[in-house]
Structure formats: C-alpha cells, structure tokens
Amino acid sequence: MTDRQTIERLLRVERGSVRLYEVILPELRGEARAAARHFLGQERRHVDALVLALRGMKVPVSDAVAPIPEPAGGARELIQVAIEHEQTCIRAYLSAQSSLKAPALLGGAAGAMATEAQQLAYLRGLLGDQPVPVAFVAGR
Amino acid sequence: MSGPPWNRRDFLRFTGLALGAAGSVGFAACGEDDRAEVGVPDPRATPQRDRAILNGALTLENTAVAAYATGLPLLRGEVRRAAERFLGQEREHAVALARLVREMGGEPNRPKPPAEYRAAFPRLPDEAAFLRFASDLENVAIAAYAEGIPKLKDARLRKLTSTIFCDEAQHATVLLGASHHGDPRIAVPEPFVTGKVRA
C-alpha cells in the first residue's frame, strides 16, 4: 500500500468521525455534549491535515466517507457508538504505522492516533467504565 | 525536606535523554515532490538507532514506575486505584521494551536505585503535587514517543511503541481529568498529541 492509499483510507475514516459527532452532538447534554463538540473540532482538524497531505502529493481528494455505526438510543447508547468508532479509528492508525513510509506522515498518524485514544478514555469515563483498561492500546 | 526544582530540563538530564526540536504537527510536511505519493523512508533509520530509541523509552518507563511507586502512599480512593493501574501498565511497557532491546542484541537500560529517583523527584507533599508531577512525567514520555516513533525503521516496532504511546496519552487524560474534573478541553487538549501542551 502506498502512502497515498493509506492517507486516503485514513481520510475516509476521519470523515466518518466528523459525520458521527455531527449526528450525535444535538442529542447529548452537559459534559457529554461538551466532549462531543470538542472532539468534533479535533476530528475536523484531522480531516484538514489529511487533505493537506494529499494536496501536497498533488493528487485528487475524494469526499468518500467510511461507513459509521447507526447512532440510536439515549445518551449512553450514543456514547457507546462513539467509543466503538474511536476504536475503529485507532485500528486504522495502527495499521497505518505499518504501511506509511514518510516520517512526517508517520508522525502525524501517531499524534492523531493518540488523540483518538484520549477521546476513547474520556468517553469511557463518561460511562463510568475503566478509562484505561489495557497497557497496549490497539483499539480492541 | 525540599526536593530539587522540577522541570523538563532536569528530568532529561536525569534520564540521560535529549529530545530534538519540535516535530511537525499534522501531516503537512510530506513534501511536494512526486515521490511523496509512495513515501520516502528516513534514510538515517537503522536497526542500531531503533535499539537506541527503544532503550531510551525503557529509561522513561523505568522512571515512571519509580514515580508511581513513590506517589502511591499519598493517594486515596479513585486516584489511588488509577495510579496502581498505571504503575502496573508502566511495568508491562518496561518488560516489553527490555525484551525487545535484548532480542535486538542490546543490553536493556536498568532502573536506577530507588534513592536516586527519590532524590531527583520534586517534593511531593500531597495528592495535588503528585498529580502535577505525574502529568508532567507522562507528557515528557509522550513527547519522546511522538518524536521517536517516526524515526523507527522497523514497522513492527512502530506499531508496538504506538500502542504504548496511546496508553501514556490516556494516562495523561485521566490525570488531567482528576485535577480538572469535567473539562474535555483540558483532558484532551491537542488534535495531534505531542506532549508539549500542559494544563
């Protein structure tokens, strides 16, 4: 897999993150809503950075969005959907660490992956679950 | 009893590590030549440098183990349970990194004697002081992983260290959450974790 293909895959996943938080944000209240709004802003930054990377390669940028889980139910269920999606993101970034070659892309992918991991921990905390259950975070 | 003043320079001197200049944030520094599409690996990456990076990370993990072990008697309740968990996880990281260094033909960096750590740590009179110290320590480790991971030649090592990097990032989120309850902007401060933003 080329760096271009890897970045395109990550972009689809991150566009999915933006869509997910846009959908669940109006349904949440209080601390959960504040978190979703903050995380939506961070996911948009990831999308912007990935688009910029593709433009730097002088290749067309697709609007494709990876499928996301169907959000439904109350706040607890919506947060659970976000948790599952964050794990999907972490797995995608972890896979990218194997396929990417350019150091700048590797660094960006690692930094974004760690933010997804922090968001995951925060969301788990909102549900009263153990926020950091394992020593090696692999999105599982 | 007062400890030495605590700052990152002291810590890096103590651990024998030096971080380079801040790396690029985001993905934008890929370059604008045609080779970028396929990606050009770092030509300086070698197995020897990989081993040195892992051994540097091991030193940080050994320090984190000593820090959590030192702080535990100060803590109660939920914070103590989190610190106990993090101590166990730092030990797991240290074991994994030492095994890798050994597999690569190196000698894993050993932990310093406990008294040496205690002398280098700041004065920790209470839980709040420990939370500040632990949070700073986690961020030093995060910054080291953020800079080290892209330099690793071996993709298998990049994946393993990324899983540790994410764990340290989660520790920082919990520690920041414990001292600034309920504010996601403080607990998850950066869209690209660098360890250079502190509450």
Interface confidence: ipTM more than 0.90: yes
A17 CB neighbours in chain B (<8 A) are none
pLDDT (0 to 100) of residue B7: 59
B16-37 per-position pLDDT tens digit = 554 443 344 567 544 444 455 6
Contact criterion met (CB < 8 Å) for A132 and B149: no
Contact criterion met (CB < 8 Å) for A108 and B25: yes
What gap in Å lies between CA A81 and CA A102, rounded to an integer? 33
**Mutate which: B170, B175, B176, vs A, most A CBs within 10 A:** B170
| Whether the model pTM is above 0.95 | no
**Mutate which: A54, A97, A120, A124, vs B, most B CBs within 10 A:** A97
- Candidate from A2, A108, A110 with C-beta closest to B162: A110
pLDDT over 90 percentage in chain A: 96
A2, B38 in Cβ contact below 8 A?
Answer: yes
Q: How far is A54 from chain B (nearest CA, A)?
A: 8
**Mutate which: A7, A18, A106, A140, vs B, most B CBs within 10 A:** A106
pLDDT (0 to 100) of residue B3: 41
> For A52, which residue in chain B has the nearest alpha carbon?
B28
Q: List C-alpha distances in Å: B108 to A108, A134, B104, B151.
A: 29, 24, 10, 19
Give the pLDDT of chain A (140 residues) as one tens digit per residue. Answer: 999 999 999 999 999 999 999 999 999 999 999 999 999 999 999 999 999 999 999 999 999 999 998 888 999 999 999 999 999 999 999 999 999 999 999 999 999 999 999 999 999 999 999 999 999 999 99
Contact criterion met (CB < 8 Å) for B88 and A135: yes
Contact criterion met (CB < 8 Å) for B92 and A3: no
Q: What is the 3-state secondary structure (H, E, C) of A4-54?
A: HHHHHHHHHHHHHHHHHHHHHHHHCCHHHHHHHHHHHHHHHHHHHHHHHHH
